[in-house]
Structure 1
Amino acid sequence: MKKFSSIIYVFILFMISWNTASAQDEDLLKLLGEEKPKREITKNAFKSTRVINSQSMEFLSPGTMDFIILHRFGQISEGMGNFFGLDQASMRMALDFGIMQNLMVGVGRSTYKKELDAFIKYAPIRQSTGLNNFPATIAISAGTTLNTLPWSDPSRKNYFTSRLAYYTQVIIGRKFNENFSLQLSPTMVHNNLVALQTMPNDVFASSLGGRVKVSKRMALTFDYTYIIHGVDKSMYKDPLSVGLDIETGGHVFQLHFSNSTGMNERAFITETTGSWDKAEIRFGFNLSRMFQIKKQKEVSKE
């Protein structure tokens, strides 16, 4: 836990020092007689509202709906017998909605455990430049999942609440320049029902996500989650995904490799069993298509 706290401390210091350098540049412009620019929200740190698995610091514009398909094949380690995993598939379909510039909600359905999920994401502070600027975006995301599989033991008394799990996370991210963005997301997942009485209901983790732009429409991404407490590390692994984002007009196409099967927070944080060193990884893609379902209000100019 001390090591994890040190990582967060260094991450925050790095962002503050970067912002201090930017503020000094603005003060220099002021001395030269140039007006300080108006406050502008920093956008496009990531091209999607998800890095790969994890929520990103990005938000949908108000009145926008994002239809997302997250698709993942079987394990590459299964070889030609399963065509390196391409004969299998797991997927999640979702609809996300932009409510305000700093508020969005979403719902989804996964084939893994037949889960339904929903979330809300809100940013009280967003990275900005100019007047009253701030060096980073700080957002809060909270969600729930519902397992709809038949009960493993229908003869016992089962409760609806046992199907539920919840998660809460804080996203701290910064777009350092047009080519590089980084974010850190401490997360807690609570399972109402666990397999063994000795297992904790709460899982603590932290995700690190980044984006490196390589061309006008392409960027490399990575998404790693370190499990701090709550799972058996001999059975479950830290989820790691690496990918390539391709922007094509209204679509964002993400190609990636990942050792996780599940694609909601409860699933990929608490139940990733694949190991990268054993090639227990899966090829997959995320496809995002934007729809404008409500016209944005025009800002009158004086």
Structure 2
Amino acid sequence: MKNILTTLCFLFLSSFSFAQDDLLDILDDENTETDQSIVTSTFKGTRIINGHSVENRKDSELEFIISHRFGRINSGFYDLFGLDNSNIRFSLEYGLTDDLTIGAGRSSFEKTYDGFLKYSLFKQKTGAKSFPFAISLFSSIAVKTLKDYDPDDKRTFAESLSYVSQVLIARKVSSSFSYQVTPTYIHRNTVSIAEDPHDIFALGFGSRIKVSKRVSINGEYFYAFDKSTSINARNSLAFGVDIETGGHVFQLILSNAITMIEKSFIAETTGDFFGGDIHFGFNISRTF
């Protein structure tokens, strides 16, 4: 009887030891899977300045954005330093999921309608399974409806279309500094003259420096490798201040571009920033 009790105790203790080992293995596996953190708030809003950031709307969130760019500051007092002239864009953006945003807008410049999709492909993560960058894919289509053509040479709908594709690659280096690199491809179905390229490749650079809990300073530059000659196109340069106030993000902007969609401010900007061709503007967004 004593031998039997000894054997049962041994088996019980052995099974407890095995179970304990199995439990520790499970916990180790779970810790390995969860010992990571998704980096958030790389930028305050869905725009760095003119161009998109990697930030998306959350699932079922609706954002209304009003963007405004005035005329050139160096136009003088007669035009009140550009305030007499303006370009405005209204847009709605909706989070289909946390990773997929759809949006549409209308610009007064060239009476352009545009729509886009933005998808978060990878998120920046820290921890055991870290990933150094956040990567999103962006694609848009725009149609120019301004009737600036000869009535006998009316454009078709297809001839008025242009397309943009971008890869948004961003990194939040610290709580105070983030940057983004944006390879860009633009295709325009119609150009002004034969010498103007239908296809334009560009590379964008953007950054954000956080100066307080609710305020940051942003910079943005797009270098176009292919330029239109009919309009003496220049690279887009912009600086801005982001101010967050609850559900609003308010951006104050200085840029040599008066337009606010990718095909225009990347490929069709004509202002010389350092020559005084600067447009003051702002973006106001409200999330519901």
Output the TM-score relative to the length of structure 2: 0.86
- Residue 255 (1) aligns with residue 278 (2): no
Indicate the SS of the match to 2:287: strand
Counterpart in the other structure of 2:136: 139
Q: Which runs of 5+ in 1 are unaligned?
A: 1-33, 292-302
User: Structure 2 counterpart of 1:189, which letter?
Assistant: I
* Distance across 2 between alignment mates of 1:233 and 1:217: 42
C-alpha distance 233-205 of structure 1, shift in aligned 2 (>3 A)? farther
Counterpart in the other structure of 2:163: 166
Counterpart in the other structure of 2:104: 107
User: Structure 2 counterpart of 1:226, which letter?
Assistant: Y
* Distance across 1 between alignment mates of 2:125 and 2:137: 18
Indicate the SS of the match to 2:151: coil
Output the TM-score relative to the length of structure 1: 0.82
* Distance across 2 between alignment mates of 1:201 and 1:189: 8
Q: Is the CA contact 1:168–1:188 (under 8 Å) kept in the aligned structure 2?
A: yes
**For 2:276, which of 279, 282, 291 is the aligned residue?**
279
* Distance across 1 between alignment mates of 2:32 and 2:266: 47
Q: Is the CA contact 1:187–1:205 (under 8 Å) kept in the aligned structure 2?
A: yes
Counterpart in the other structure of 1:268: 265
Indicate the SS of the match to 1:268: helix
How far is 1:157 from its partner? Answer: 5.4
Q: Is the CA contact 2:221–2:238 (under 8 Å) kept in the aligned structure 1?
A: yes
Counterpart in the other structure of 1:62: 59
**For 1:217, which of 214, 219, 229 is the aligned residue?**
214
C-alpha RMSD over aligned residues: 1.7
From the CA coordinates, give the structure whose radius of gyration is larger.
2
Indicate the SS of the match to 1:237: coil
- Residue 51 (1) aligns with residue 48 (2): yes
User: Structure 2 counterpart of 1:172, which letter?
Assistant: I
* Distance across 2 between alignment mates of 1:130 and 1:37: 9
Q: What is the CA deviation profile of residues 143-181 of structure 1, one whole-angstrom value per residue up to 9, with x for unaligned ones? A: 000101125112135321011000101111101111000
- Residue 235 (1) aligns with residue 232 (2): yes
How far is 1:232 from its partner? Answer: 3.2
Q: Is the CA contact 1:94–1:108 (under 8 Å) kept in the aligned structure 2?
A: yes
* Distance across 2 between alignment mates of 1:72 and 1:248: 21
* Distance across 2 between alignment mates of 1:151 and 1:71: 23
How far is 1:230 from its partner? Answer: 3.7
* Distance across 2 between alignment mates of 1:132 and 1:63: 29
User: Structure 1 counterpart of 2:131, which letter?
Assistant: F
How far is 1:131 from its partner? Answer: 3.9
How far is 1:35 from its partner? Answer: 8.1
Q: What is the CA deviation profile of residues 30-72 of structure 1, one whole-angstrom value per residue up to 9, with x for unaligned ones? A: xxxx989633321111111010111101111101011001111
**Residues 74-223 of structure 1 correspond to what in structure 2 (within 5 A)?**
74-156=71-153, 158-223=155-220
State percent identity of aligned pairs.
41
Counterpart in the other structure of 2:68: 71
Q: Is the CA contact 1:166–1:266 (under 8 Å) kept in the aligned structure 2?
A: yes
Q: Is the CA contact 1:201–1:230 (under 8 Å) kept in the aligned structure 2?
A: no
Q: Is the CA contact 2:195–2:229 (under 8 Å) kept in the aligned structure 1?
A: no
User: Structure 2 counterpart of 1:245, which letter?
Assistant: D
Q: Is the CA contact 1:60–1:104 (under 8 Å) kept in the aligned structure 2?
A: yes
Counterpart in the other structure of 2:242: 245
Indicate the SS of the match to 1:143: strand
* Distance across 2 between alignment mates of 1:65 and 1:38: 32
* Distance across 2 between alignment mates of 1:257 and 1:62: 32
